Every structure is written in structure tokens, then in C-alpha cells.
Structure 1
Amino acid sequence: MGISKHTTDKVKDRMDIEEVISDYVPLKRKGQNLWACCPFHGEKTPSFSVSPAKQIYKCFGCGKAGDPIQFVMDIEGLGFQEAVRHLAGKYGIEVEEEEAQTPEQEQAQSERESLLIALGFARDFFVKNLETAEGRSIGLSYFKERGFGPEIIQKFDLGYALDGWDNLLNAAKKAGFQEDILLKAGLILEKDGDPSRRYDRFRNRVTFTIHNISGKPIAFGARILTKDKNQPKYINSPETPVYHKSDVLYGMFQAKKSIREKDNCFLVEGYTDVISMHLSGIENVVASSGTSLTEGQIKLIKRFTDQVTVLYDGDAAGIKASLRGIDLLLEGGLIVKAVVFPDGEDPDSYSRKVGSQAFQDYLAANAKDFIGFKINLYRDEYERDPIRKAEVIREVVQSIAKIPDPIIRSVYSKEAASLLDIEEGIIYAEVNKILLKVQRDYHRKSEEVAQQEAAVEDLLSVEQEGFSVSEALQIQERELIRLLLNYGLKELDGESLNLCQYLLAETEDLTIHHPLYAKILDLFRQNLVNGQVVDSDYFLTLGDVEIRNEVIDLITPRREASVHWTDKFQIFIPKEEDDLTLTSYKSILRHKRKFVLKMMDEALQKIKNAHSEQYTDEQITELQEIYMGLKQVHIQIDRELGIVIG
């Protein structure tokens, strides 16, 4: 079934980009736009801009851009229709389905949606297997031993993969699924690259469904119950277009509401740890599924809370090996605490051993901030060895320096000095050394970027060494399109036409060399011929993704002057829209200047190659006259623009 156009239109009319994005990241207003650290890539300085007026977002760091539907598609890993369903649910809009489609048509909608449908089918298949004789005797009995009742089994979509080579494969084919989709979803394997030798990936194992943030099945983990040394204890789905392990945390779908309410996220290692804690009444818990913590997973936690409590098994060697995860959490701006269970215990075993209330009491009583936790972990070592103490101090300082908040950094520095019995000044000095080096590196990179941007902006008026004439012309073409998109409907002072009509008339005889800008300009002309003057909204509704992304980039300002200049200090900063007649006139002159420069360059190259091309004296004289004529036009434009040539 597909979503009707009527439903999609209702969602587009109702959705508000500020409401949608603020569900995932905190937004702060700066000028007319809202800003945040981008949820799609790691950064410390906000470069993610949201325009409520234009209903678009744009990240100047990674380039992600779009409308609210595109944002949900990107952040949730959904297809277009699934994103529309998600927003319809958010705004209480009833979803109208189009006429029923055949399985073949559904599969053809898109590969991404087909993968999600196939994974949903596999989830249902594994869950239903618990009702079979084999599933009851093996899978269900294992869950019962763990204390997992029907409610928790349903909550986490626990299931069982039957013992056999092709149970899922045959059931899925019978239901109309193509084998290639099952292969791409990681549900089946292919031996020696032979399509005729395909078989189930998961066999004779209990299954744990891995969901995306919206609750859609995207992968599976499976545990073997027999003691077979030739088989790994766990096998997991491979990376697929809908499953990127480094961006997923097991149990986040079930935990996100509780994490927001409790303003804390418990981080454990395995599937059963998560489920056992739910049984103990603790729902704000997720698992890294036995892998090292990644930046993507940290960003996922930070969407719901700034506080995380890491739960460690009672194994000192294992804890020390995983301490890098704490540093990553600190660097991600999270407040970190840690709890260590008694030797030989993990969250699953300990919660079943002591019961729900005692387990909750233990967590509350033993949660320590990361400084105390890290120092206590090495206490026995450094008390016997002064050199080891110096190494521990350096390790602690390295961790403190990763904290972005200066106040929290200061508090931890003081605590570390007290616990390590060392002067505060030494801790502060060492932390500042690290921060100074980081800042120097950052400023050096920022200066390089700023110099590149400045060089590009200067090309709007004069050529810069290192840029070709063609590159300079392309930049001016971009500026022309930017003005059309932002101010095309504005009327020019003292003129009976708007900016769009003026610019299109003045550039009628000029060739636009950049193919994308030429395409956009041609759409402007086509609409004007039909009596319509379009603006950026027209291009944002087109199905052309390349045009839409370029338009978003052109209409989203990278920086704005603070309102305090005017409101507080009465300093009025001129804006380009204050005098669009002059702005558009100078833009046309600059564009023509670059165009003339390109023609001069072409003429000069022909003159230089006159001997090799065997031009006659008359042809050479004609080229020289063309060049000098263009030079005179160039000089006249320079005078009009106020450009002084030495």
C-alpha cells in the first residue's frame, strides 16, 4: 500500500521544521535563523542552520540540506513514504492509502523501503517460530530461564530461527520477496558467489531484533544455545543500506522516552543486559552490542540526554581496555558516571541475583563520576609506583581536557587534584597546555578555511591569483542565481519591473557555462515566458535533488549580523536588499566583466598560438583588434564598478 498524495500534501501543509528538528537537537535562535551542532556529523561549533521562514535546514559543515521530510529521512534512516507516515503520526493526520499494490509493485517502490519490509517480515517470522514445537522447546524455554515473559518478548520482538538451511528463505519467497532483497538485507547468504546456493544466515538460534529509532526492524543478533566450539556464540546482521552498526544502539527505541524523562542513559554491553534491566524496572538503558563505542552512537545518546552512566562488568582488565569510550563520551559533551558490579557479575546476572529493588539501590549508591572512577581504578598501581602515578595523572588530565564545558572542566580539575594529592595549579597548567595546542590547531585550520572563503568572495569583484578566468566566471554565475532566488520577486526602485525580469533581460545574450546554473536560469526563463515569476519555493518543490540542494545552499545565509548592533547600540548595518536596484546593476556589471575577461583570454590564446595555427597577417590583426576592443569594454566596466587598475 502507498500513501495518497492528499495525505502527503496535508503533512507538508501541517509540518513545521522547528518542531520536527527540535525533537532531535536543541535549537538556539541567532538572528532570523535557528542554529545547532549538526546531528549528522561531529562538531563543537554550530554550523547547522534552520530557517523557520523558508522551512529548510542546511549544514555548512557536511552539506546536508532539505525540508522536514528530508530531515526525518536522514535522521531516522527512512524512505520517503515512511518519513511521511512518521510525520503524519506526529501531527495526528490520518494516513490515506492508495489502491492496494501487488507484491511486485511494493518491491519496486524503492530498495530501502523493500529492505525494511523484508526485515519486518523476518521479525514476524522469527517471533512466530516461538509457537512451533521446536521454538517452544528451545527458544521459549531459554527465554523463560532468563525470566523473559510474554510481555518482554513482545516488547523486544524476541524470536527463534529454526534449525534448517532455508526456512526463512522459502517462507519469504512464498510471500513474494525477491532473493536479492533478502541478500541485501543480510537475511540470507550466498556460497561461493553462486545464486543457486543461497541459505539462511540465522539458524538454530534465539534472535534479538535491532530496531531503528522509529521502531522499524533493521537488523538481528542471534545467540546459539548449544556448546559448539566451531560456531560463534553470537552472529549479527552485516552492514546494509538501512543498518549502520556504528550509528545504532540496541534498545534505543524502547528507551528513548524514559531517557528523556529520567535525563540519564544507562549504557551496557549486551542484549540480555538491556532486557534484564527492563525487567528490573529500569527502561532508560541501551547497549553498544559488544563493540567499542562510536561517535555516531554518542551523538544518538546526546539527542535525548546529556548524562550517561556506564555499567561495567566486574572485570578490571576489561574495564581498563574500554576506558577510551569514556573519553569519547566526554568529548561528545556528555556528563559521565560509571558503576562497577562485583567480580564475576554483569547487569543481567546481578539483577536476577538480587532482585529489582536491590539492583536499583545498587546503581544509585555506586554511581561515581568518571574522575573518581578512573583514579580509583588505578589506585593500587600508583600507590606502589610513583612513576605510575605520574602516568595516571597525565591520563586523567587528557580526559579532563576533552570536556568542552569550561566550568565542568574546572570542577573536575579540582576534584582530580584532591584525589591524587597534587597541587591544583599543576592540573590546570597541564590541561591548559593541551587546550592551547588544540586551539592553535583549530585556529590554523579556521584561518585556512577563512582565507579560502575570502578568496572566493573577492572574486565577485576582482580576480585572485590562483583562480582561472573560467572559475571566476562560474562564481559570478552563482551570485547571479543567488540574487534571482532570494530577491526575484522584489520590485526595483523607480522601475516598472522586478529583479527577475531585469536580470533575465540583461543576461539574455550571455552564455551560462555552469550546467546546473544554466538549468536553473532556463527554468526561470520558461516560467517568465508563461507569465510567472518564480522564487526559491518553486525550486524546492521540484523533484530534482541536485537543484533543490543547490538552491538551499544559495538561500541559506552563512552568517548574520547580531540584532544587538541595531537594537542595543543603534548601529545600522547596510544590507544588500536595502538597494536592490544598485545591487542587481553591479551584479550584472560584474558578470559581464567576467564574461569579457573570458573572451579576452580566449582571444589572447589565439594570438599566442597564431604561428602554430598558421593564421594570416589579416587574421592576426583582426584578433588584436578584437582583444583591444574587449579591453576598452573591460576598462569602462571597471570604472563603473570603481575598480582601480594599477
Structure 2
Amino acid sequence: MNKARISPEFISKIKDAVNIIDVIGEHVVLKKSGSNHMGLCPFHNERTPSFSVSEGKQLYKCHGCGKGGDLVNFVMEMHGLSFVDAVEELAERGKVPLPKDFVRAEDGDPEAAKRREAAREKTAKAYRLNLFALKFFQKQLREAKTGPGGSAHIAEYFKKRGVGKTLADSFFVGAAPPSWDALANHFVTAKAPLPLASELGLVKPSQKGTKAGPGYFDLFRNRAMFPILDLRGKVAGFGGRGLPTPPGAPDVGGETPKYLNSSESMLFQKSKLAYGMFQAQKYVREKDEVILVEGYFDVLALHAAGFQNVVATCGTSLTEDHLALFQKFCSKVTVLFDGDRAGIAATDRAMELGLKLGVILHGASLPDGLDPDEILFDQDTGKVIPQGVERMTMILAASAPLLDTRIESARVFALKGAEERTKAVKQVAEWLAMYRDPVGRELRAEKVAQDFGISKALLQTAMGGVPAATGRAPNRGPKPIGGSAAPINAPEGRNSAPKRKAPSQKPSLKEAILIRGILRGGNFRAMIEEARAYLPEGQPLSGLADHPSVRSVLEAILERGMTPESFLDSVASSEEASPGELLAFAGEIRSLLIESVMGADAPGAPPLTEGEFRIAVQRGIHQSWARFSQELKGRLRDAELKKDEDLRSRLAQEFLDVKRRMKEFESFYDEV
């Protein structure tokens, strides 16, 4: 129907019944900021929150991508719904009855309107079927009949695994009885559409002539059942854990596979769903962390023990969609997989996926051979294990970035010998090459080179870069990883950068951080002013950078007191620079200057911390001394050629003093 057919009064009733903060808060971690709430935009990738929600005005606006609107607009955008479908969804949520004249009158193509209506009705019917099946499984568990076809053994199994009534009700667990067609017959009695139930993976058509009855058999037979809900609390599908056939019951082949999930369907895409996310989302937001485990029982056990920000994937490895889902709610993902070989392999796959997306996953180490629920509950009685909660708390508290723990393991392995060292360096280089966050990659690469006793150039080569060019051409630096990320730069030679000529390489990450900090002012400006005392005598602050364009920026702002705007204007009007050079300069520097006009980090840019800036300043000081050291070596060679002993002796002593000074910075790197 047209928007015009829905009265403003009805929309107002919906907005009175449904708070925009509650709806958006299911998808975005919102934090109070003045009169509004701020968070990361769910419609585009960003690191700095630019998504604002006004509870008073019931409006939202992203200052990064520009999307905004009211409650209805958000539901339409988030779930891909039409205006009318979004209104119906919100009316159902707020328990606001639809007006009697709420009749669809789709404009446009009548056939397309019919198809949309048919798809909507099919989806609604599919959700009802899944809910109908859930209630059937719950009833089987609740009644827990003994004898053939009964579910008493499944109820006992849940009890032994520590799942009491409260937990069972919270997660809607149930039982699929040891029967070929109990659910199928239940559908027939209720006149439910069996073909749609088959499409959802609840039943399957029987082979012709081999089965009497409804003509369909149950997919889930003799299984402990775990409903998988979407973020709105609707039943998207099921997971079932096979159990041994009880004495006297028919063998219905329900033991294998051990875990069975619903078929992929319009409702169930296991790569996008996480078991327990509906129940956990509130706690994930509060703790700013999601704990990822392997099994459904692990989720239940940890929730029962008070760890309520826990979820599991649905019989699949961690995917990009999972990480995107988690990042809408929190900034930290902790992997708590089994300590056996399969668990370690799954953890490594998760870590590598995170690296490719620029996310560092944390990992907590479980004792070898133990599941989380085995730490918390006795597997025979279901009783709580004394000190189990304290033990699990300590395990989770000891979680650490997976990349860092894996690098440390590789470093220890490298101590065994030359071959082991080679393998370790290659493996670590492969991980670093995967890592898309340039800040984290640069910081870790610096430390890896120090810890493994190799040069950054060698590490860069192992990461897929190329050695620095030689000859008269300017030093282009290592090849950027992935083609676009900031390169890990080695110090340039003294003659590598002409004074005003625009170089082909981009500013290094260190130099980008320096500019961002200077433009932010405050403590950042104070830190860089303090650096004057640590530079070689007579060296200006612009010497903290190697890139000539960055040096020009530092000199203009720090030494001449120019504003970013006036500096860009002066470059644009310069007669010394060609248009091509100006274009290159703008591409390298303008994005770093523009945030000063905005008064904050640019949308999508990671927030700058004082720790990162301090490291960038320290590196600038170190490289300044390194250049000064090279200059002294050149002057020392000239003195030797001229056989000027007095000058040679004085320069040699000065060179030794410089070397000692540089040691201070090397010890700093060891602590990073």
C-alpha cells in the first residue's frame, strides 16, 4: 500500500509504543553522549562512532554515510523491508493493533506486488511453522514420557548436563522423540503445510512405497533440540544433538551425525546466525565483549554459571558475517574453543579470518581435553563443580590477543635451530601480511624484527614486499601489503627525497600519526614539543619525518605557526610545484589535514591514542638520530681521507656518543 494510506496518527502510536533506542540498540552498541546516543554505524564500516540517535526526537543520523530517519526508516534499512512491512513489524512488536482499513494497495507492477505479498506471507508462515515445531519439542521434553517413543532419556540427559528448568525455558530447549514421524504426524493433525516444513528442514518426503502415514519423515529424531533464534527472537532454525537409542525404543537412526542443523532456507543461514545471540545480546553490549564457544551445551553451561555474554556458531566455522554481527554489539571477541587439536585449528582459522578483516581476536586457553561445561558441571550428575566458576573466571581473565600469543609461540619455536627459525619467521610474516589494520601491523612488525633478530627489510620481504630499489631513483620503500595499506618503512637514505619533488611513496604510518596528533593539539602537541630536547643539536622538529611533504607540514605548523588551511593554500599557489606534484601532495596529505577542520578524527578513521602518538614520536627521534649517525659516518670517512686526525678523533667520539644515545631507543622498542 502507499505510505499515504497509513495515517500519521498510527505511526505516532507505534513510536509511543516502541522506543528507537531499544530497536537500534539490538544492532548497535549505543553509548550516551550528551542528549544523544552514539555508536558505530550499522550501514557502513567505520572505526570512529559517527552514528547518532536522539531518543527525544526518535531520529537517527549517520554523519559518515549520511543515512538517517525515524524508527520506521531504520527497520526498513536494517532488514530490507518495505515501508508497509516495517510498519507491520513494529506494530506487532509494540502490540499496536492494525487499523481496520489497513489494506494493502501496492502501486507499481501488480504482478510484482503479488510476488512480494506471496513472499511476505510465505516468510510469516515459515516462522509460524518453526514456532509450532519449537512448542512440539518443548512439550516432548516437558512431558518426558517413558517407554518406546518417549523422551524421558532426553530429559535425563539435559539434567546430567546441568540444564535446569529455568535455563531450559530461557533457551527454549526441547526433545525430538525416537520416532520416524512424530512431528510429521503433528503437522498433519494441525493441517500444516508439509512442503514448506520440508523446505525448512523439519521433515523430508518419504521414499515412495517405503513408508505409510503422512508421506514425510522427521529430520530430527531422538535428539536434544536447541532452537536457534534471530536477533528479534524469532525461530530461524534448530540444532539437534543425537543420543543413543534407549532400551526398547525403535532404532530411528538419530545418533549420527552427532549434531544436525536445519537446512539452509529463507530463515536459516548458519553463516549469519549465532546460537544464544538473542539471549546474550544485552550482556554482550554491557560487557563490550562476546565469548565464542564451540557447542550449544557450552553456551548453556556458561550462561548457567553467570557468563551470559556467550554464543556459539551453528555447526560452522567463524565467518565474516559472524564478525560483522558481533562488531555491531561489542569491540572485543574472545574465542574459547577446546584445547584439543581440532579446537586449536579452529582457533587459528578464526584468528586468520580476523586478521584479514583488521580485527584482533582474543583467545582463552582451555585445559587440554576439557570443554567449558566439563569445567563447570559434573557430566554424570549435572551438579555444579566446586570452584568451577572461579576456575573459568581465571581462564577468561587470562585471555590475550591471539596474534600475540601465536607470535610468542613462534618465537620460542625459533630458538630450536636455524630451520625452525626460518619456519617461524615465515609463519609470522604470513600472519602480519594478512593483518589489515596498518597501526597494529606496524607496531607488531617492529617488535617481531627485534625479537627474532632480523631486519625489518627481511621481514617485509617475507611478508610479500620487495627490497628497496637502488641507484639514482628515489627509494620507493617496501611494497604495501595488500596493495593499499600503509607500508612498513625502513629509514630512507640521505639523498632519497628531493626537497620539493613529490615522491612516489606515501607517508609512513608513523608520519600519518604525527600529523594527526599535531592537528589534535592538547597533550599531543605538548608531547611533540618535548621531543625537541631529544633531537640532535640544531635538528628542527620537522626532522621527525622522512617524507618531504610531511616535513613541509611539520615545518609550517610547528615552526612557522601556519594553520592547515593556510598551508594548503600556500602550496596551491606555489610557482615551484607542478600540477602533477600538487595532485600527488594532495593525495598524500590532504586526508590527514581535513580532520583538523572537522575538529575530530575523520569518519572511519581509528581513534588516535596518546600511546600510539608517543611511539610515533619515539620512532621519529630514533630515525632522526639514525640519519645524524649516517651523516657523522660520512664526515668521519672524509676526515680519514684528508688524514685530519684531530677532526677524525673528535668525530669518532661524537659517533660513539650517538651510538650510545640510540641504544636508549632500542631498549624502548624492546618494551613495546
Displacement of 1:111 in angstroms is 0.9
1:351 has 2:352 as partner:
no
3-state DSSP of counterpart to 1:147: coil
Partner residue in 1 for 2:310: 285
Displacement of 1:440 in angstroms is 3.3
Partner residue in 1 for 2:97: 96
Letter in 1 for 2:222: N
Could you report, residue by residue, the CA deviation over 1:18-71 in whole angstroms, capped at 9, with x for unpaired residues?
98557534799xxxxx99987478x5799x99999997999999x999975464
Letter in 2 for 1:352: F
Could you report, residue by residue, the CA deviation over 1:429-481 in whole angstroms, capped at 9, with x for unpaired residues?
766939944463689xxxxxxxxxxxxxxxxxxxxxxxxxxxxxxxxxxxxxx
Is the CA contact 2:291–2:311 (under 8 Å) kept in the aligned structure 1? yes
C-alpha distance in structure 1 between counterparts of 2:595 and 2:346, whole Å:
50
3-state DSSP of counterpart to 2:271: helix
Partner residue in 2 for 1:213: 231
C-alpha distance in structure 2 between counterparts of 1:143 and 1:87, whole Å:
36
1:367 to 1:183, Cα distance in 2 relative to 1, 3 A: same
Question: Which moved further from structure 2: 217-226 or 353-362?
Answer: 353-362
Pairing 1:5-24 to 2, within 5 Å after superposition: 7-8=10-11, 10-11=13-14, 21=24, 24=27
Partner residue in 2 for 1:147: 162
Displacement of 1:426 in angstroms is 5.1
Question: Which moved further from structure 2: 140-149 or 393-402?
Answer: 393-402
Letter in 2 for 1:197: G
Is the CA contact 2:463–2:481 (under 8 Å) kept in the aligned structure 1? no
Give the structure with the larger helix fraction.
1
Displacement of 1:286 in angstroms is 1.0
C-alpha distance in structure 2 between counterparts of 1:197 and 1:285, whole Å:
40
Letter in 1 for 2:369: G
Partner residue in 2 for 1:245: 270
Letter in 1 for 2:13: K
1:122 has 2:140 as partner:
no
C-alpha distance in structure 2 between counterparts of 1:442 and 1:233, whole Å:
44
C-alpha distance in structure 2 between counterparts of 1:71 and 1:156, whole Å:
28
Partner residue in 2 for 1:408: 440
TM-score by length of 1: 0.56
Letter in 2 for 1:440: G
Partner residue in 2 for 1:274: 299
1:162 to 1:87, Cα distance in 2 relative to 1, 3 A: same
Partner residue in 2 for 1:468: none
C-alpha distance in structure 2 between counterparts of 1:279 and 1:56, whole Å:
36
Displacement of 1:274 in angstroms is 0.9
Could you report, residue by residue, the CA deviation over 1:376-427 in whole angstroms, capped at 9, with x for unpaired residues?
5556754434334333323323333444444333443345446545456755
C-alpha distance in structure 1 between counterparts of 2:198 and 2:284, whole Å:
35
C-alpha distance in structure 2 between counterparts of 1:79 and 1:173, whole Å:
33
Is the CA contact 2:40–2:328 (under 8 Å) kept in the aligned structure 1? no
3-state DSSP of counterpart to 1:384: coil
Task: Count the aligned residue pairs.
Answer: 436
Letter in 2 for 1:332: L
C-alpha distance in structure 2 between counterparts of 1:429 and 1:16, whole Å:
54
Partner residue in 1 for 2:532: none
C-alpha distance in structure 2 between counterparts of 1:113 and 1:38, whole Å:
29
1:27 to 1:206, Cα distance in 2 relative to 1, 3 A: closer
Partner residue in 1 for 2:613: none
Q: 5+ unaligned residues in a row in structure 1: which ranges?
A: 29-33, 444-561, 569-646
C-alpha distance in structure 2 between counterparts of 1:59 and 1:207, whole Å:
44
Displacement of 1:261 in angstroms is 1.1
1:164 to 1:58, Cα distance in 2 relative to 1, 3 A: farther
C-alpha distance in structure 2 between counterparts of 1:253 and 1:187, whole Å:
22
Displacement of 1:140 in angstroms is 0.9
Letter in 2 for 1:265: V
Displacement of 1:211 in angstroms is 0.6
Of 222, 237, 241 in structure 2, the residue corresponding to residue 204 of structure 1 is 222
Is the CA contact 2:339–2:367 (under 8 Å) kept in the aligned structure 1? yes
3-state DSSP of counterpart to 1:220: strand
Pairing 1:42-57 to 2, within 5 Å after superposition: none
1:421 to 1:226, Cα distance in 2 relative to 1, 3 A: farther
C-alpha distance in structure 1 between counterparts of 2:129 and 2:184, whole Å:
11
Displacement of 1:335 in angstroms is 3.5
Letter in 1 for 2:139: K
Identity of matched residues, %:
32
1:59 to 1:429, Cα distance in 2 relative to 1, 3 A: farther
Displacement of 1:293 in angstroms is 1.1
1:325 has 2:350 as partner:
yes
Letter in 1 for 2:132: F
Q: 5+ unaligned residues in a row in structure 2: which ranges?
A: 1-5, 32-36, 103-116, 246-252, 379-384, 467-477, 487-593, 601-672
1:131 has 2:142 as partner:
yes
Is the CA contact 1:166–1:199 (under 8 Å) kept in the aligned structure 2? yes
C-alpha distance in structure 2 between counterparts of 1:254 and 1:266, whole Å:
13
1:394 has 2:426 as partner:
yes
3-state DSSP of counterpart to 2:422: helix
Letter in 2 for 1:96: P
1:254 has 2:279 as partner:
yes
C-alpha distance in structure 2 between counterparts of 1:201 and 1:74, whole Å:
35
C-alpha distance in structure 2 between counterparts of 1:70 and 1:200, whole Å:
40
Partner residue in 2 for 1:361: 393
Is the CA contact 2:411–2:452 (under 8 Å) kept in the aligned structure 1? no
Letter in 2 for 1:390: T
C-alpha distance in structure 2 between counterparts of 1:73 and 1:174, whole Å:
37
Question: Which moved further from structure 2: 334-343 or 236-245?
Answer: 334-343
1:440 has 2:483 as partner:
yes
